């Protein structure tokens, strides 16, 4: 009995997925839980694992197709079934020398004259030269066994294995000006992100406020304690954990930015699920740090590092991306100096971090060079006033510039 490979449930309210690419071809031997294909849902990119060890026998839906959850997309044979069918196959008798096809030779009729025979031989010689197969074709025909000769024409032996559509470069199209263009369909994840961003623009009164942060204290602390921290927790002390801590501190003082508009109501949350935006080759994902207020610096760094690795490998689960009360995004890791991030609905705020640059600043009447970072807060003006937004961002600045505030909460 063939084993059915079905699209599993990938999250609440998700009813369909798109097959991104097949990682295995028909006839490939696979291990249990080995990824057979990559599938895209509205929220994440996931692997489709093999339920058993065995052989993939039939692909029913190709890359690029959108299918419902629960759809059978392929068949496979378990290890035992594959070996059983192979052992039970009747042995084919070896072909006898007499059974092998003989080369046809043209013999002249006895009544033909010697001149006619000579002309016929010369014509036949020229014809055989023209029809002589290439060496590679001869080798293929010679290498095929008897069972293949009986079951299928020789041409089918050289057919390539089916491959996913995503592995083939789409044909270049001509634009109206005659120049080449390449048309690539958007993945389901990319389409969903695009739709949510447009919805956020259309439904929210978004406004952005800016400030700049002196990163000297954080850089000094990381430099002094990095070795001991890494030795104790087996993870590096990064920047993101400082900003997550600072954001939680500020959210406690300005709960509007941790709230949600639900109809005509404002829902205030008494927990802090902080989303961390991560860019991948397949699109932007925002996994969520659950109850981040309860996590230490080491736990935050480990969780963020795990999210980043699984996002790159396409191993994030839909549950990792559900919910979130506020988001932090770090465009500075790519060199961004300043930007206005877009809110992730139904949240009401997002903090954008940017690249650290040494700039001249005035401190106590003296111009000094300090590592400075611009930060941006985009907020939903429907429930967050400018005053709260500015004070929120100023609080984040104070906490980052004086990290001891994170410990004594003043």
User: Could you give the residue numbers annotated as active site?
Assistant: 381, 385
Report how far residue 229's alpha carbon sits from residue 226's, in angstroms, rounded to the nearest whole number: 5
Report how far residue 186's alpha carbon sits from residue 198's, in angstroms, rounded to the nearest whole number: 16
Paired tokens of 130: 């023209």
What is residue 272's DSSP assignment? -
Report how far residue 268's alpha carbon sits from residue 396's, in angstroms, rounded to the nearest whole number: 20
CB-CB neighbours of 10 under 10 Å: 20
CB 371 within 8 A of CB 356: yes
Q: Which residue has the tokens 């429930």?
A: 383
Handedness of CA 363, 369, 373, 375 (dihedral sign): positive
Q: What is the dihedral of CA 229, 231, 236, 239, to 10 degrees?
A: 10
Paired tokens of 28: 């490939």
DSSP string, 109-168: -TTS-HHHHHHHHHHHHHHHHHHPPPHHHHHHHHHS-HHHHHHS-GGGGGPPPP--GGGS
Report how far residue 74's alpha carbon sits from residue 6's, in angstroms, rounded to the nearest whole number: 7
């Amino acid at each position: 009995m063939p084993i059915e490979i079905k699209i599993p449930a990938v999250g609440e309210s998700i009813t369909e997925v798109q097959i991104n690419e097949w990682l295995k071809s028909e006839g490939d031997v696979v291990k249990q839980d080995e990824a057979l294909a990559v599938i895209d849902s509205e929220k994440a990119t996931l692997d489709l694992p093999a339920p058993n060890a065995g052989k993939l026998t039939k692909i029913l839906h190709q890359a690029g197709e959108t299918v419902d959850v629960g759809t059978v997309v392929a068949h496979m044979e378990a290890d035992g079934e594959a070996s059983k069918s192979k052992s039970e196959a009747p042995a084919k008798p070896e072909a006898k020398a007499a059974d092998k096809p003989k080369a046809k030779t043209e013999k002249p009729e006895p009544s033909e004259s010697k001149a006619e025979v000579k002309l016929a031989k010369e014509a036949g010689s020229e014809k055989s030269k023209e029809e002589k197969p290439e060496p590679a074709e001869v080798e293929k025909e010679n290498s095929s066994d008897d069972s293949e000769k009986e079951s299928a024409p020789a041409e089918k032996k050289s057919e390539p294995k089916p491959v996913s559509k995503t592995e083939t470069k789409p044909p270049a199209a001509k634009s109206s000006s005659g120049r080449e263009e390449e048309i690539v369909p958007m993945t389901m994840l990319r389409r969903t992100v695009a739709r949510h961003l447009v919805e956020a623009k259309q439904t929210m009164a978004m406004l952005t406020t800016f400030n700049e942060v002196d990163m000297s204290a954080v850089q000094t602390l990381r430099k002094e304690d990095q070795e001991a921290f890494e030795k104790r927790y087996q993870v590096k002390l990064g920047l993101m954990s400082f900003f997550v801590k600072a954001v939680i501190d500020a959210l406690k003082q300005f709960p509007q930015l941790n709230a949600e508009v639900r109809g005509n109501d404002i829902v205030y949350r008494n927990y802090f699920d902080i989303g961390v935006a991560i860019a991948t080759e397949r699109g932007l994902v925002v996994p969520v740090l659950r109850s981040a207020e309860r996590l230490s610096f080491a736990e935050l760094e480990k969780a963020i590092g795990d999210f980043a690795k699984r996002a790159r490998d396409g191993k994030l689960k839909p549950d990792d991306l559900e919910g979130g009360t506020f988001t932090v995004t770090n465009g500075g890791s790519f060199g961004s100096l300043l930007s206005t991030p877009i809110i992730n609905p139904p949240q009401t705020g997002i903090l954008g971090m940017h690249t650290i640059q040494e700039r001249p600043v005035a401190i106590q009447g003296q111009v000094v060079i300090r590592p400075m970072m611009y930060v941006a807060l985009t907020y939903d003006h429907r429930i967050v006033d400018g005053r709260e937004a500015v004070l929120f961002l100023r609080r984040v600045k104070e906490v980052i510039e004086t990290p001891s505030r994170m410990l004594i909460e003043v």
